[in-house]
Every structure is written in structure tokens, then in C-alpha cells.
Amino acid sequence: MIKKVDHIGIAVSSIEEALPLYTDVLQLRLIRIEEVESEGVKVAFIDGGNVKLELLEPLHEQSTIYTFLQKRGEGIHHIAFGVSSIQERINELKTKGVRMIHDAPKKGAQGADVAFIHPKSTNGVLYELCEKLNKGETE
């Protein structure tokens, strides 16, 4: 059902300020920076070798990342599982009694289809299901 951990989402106040730790100090490769308007976030993907890191910066106060930073401060926000046939995975989880935040996938970074599992069903961890469009992409 789950293919792998695709990325770990980390909430930051400023990507510009957070990035040197990853690129200069830890010497990891920056894959890309993009804005996901629908989510009100700017994201930076970093190549962590076996898993990507996704830095999330709020674009405005309506962003859920803004709320997260206000409540909890910077830190790990979610863990994303790579899946295929995401709608089937959602339905399967619901059949097994898992509560979903999203009953249908929505568009995330890179145009991927994403859906979040409610942390009440997962010991307080926010998990994302993520299905990439161009599966051939090797990053």
C-alpha cells in the first residue's frame, strides 16, 4: 500500500534563512523552490539522499503553516508516504477506520496529488499520501 517515505515536511518561518543550514552546513542539494498558491506556501525541496526534505514557509496568515508556526513553532510538520492510485488508498484507509482530513486528493507541490491522514488516527503524526504525476522523474 505504501511504497516509501517520499519526504519529510518541515515548517520554517523563512526558507531564505533556513536554507543555508541545508545547502552550506549539511551540504545537501537544493532541488527546487516553488510556490503552491492553493496551500498558501512556498516550498523548498532538498535532496536528503534516500528521502527529500520539504521546507514549508507560509505565504500569508491564512496558510495552515502560518497557524502551525504560531501554535508550535518551527519543526517537523508532516511525513509523506509515496503511493500510487491515491484515491484507492484513501478509500482503503477509510474502510479500515482511519480518519482522513481529505477524502479526495488535492493538488500539492509539483502538481502531485496529495491527501492528509488525520493525526487523531495516527498517534499524533500528520501523514501525507502523495502521488507523483511524472513517475519517471529521478530526483
For Zn ion, the binding residues (CB under 5 A) are: 9, 54, 80, 128
How far is Cα of residue 109 from the mean position of the Cα atoms in its chain?
8
Q: Minimal distance in Å, beta carbon 54 to Zn ion?
A: 5
Residues 6+ apart with CB under 8 A from 27: none
At closest approach, how far in Å is the CB of 3 from Zn ion? 15
Q: For residue 54, how many C-alpha atoms fall within 13 Å in the half-sphere facing its CB?
A: 24
| 128 alpha carbon, distance to own chain's centre | 6
CB of 43 to Zn ion, least distance (A): 8
How far from chain centre, in Å, is Cα 66? Answer: 15
Between 95 and 134, whose beta carbon lies closer to Zn ion? 134
Contact status, residue 81 vs residue 126, Cβ threshold 8 Å: no
Nearest CB to Zn ion, comparing residues 38 and 95: 38
- Closest CB to Zn ion among residues 93, 127: 127
What is the Cα 127 distance to its own chain's centre?
8
Closest C-alpha among 52, 74, 41 to residue 8: 52
Return the number of the residue (54 or 113) whose C-beta is nearest Zn ion: 54
Smallest separation (angstroms) from Zn ion to the CB of 39: 9
Q: C-beta of 139: minimal distance to Zn ion in Å?
A: 15
User: Of 57 and 128, which CB lies nearer to Zn ion in the complex structure?
Assistant: 128
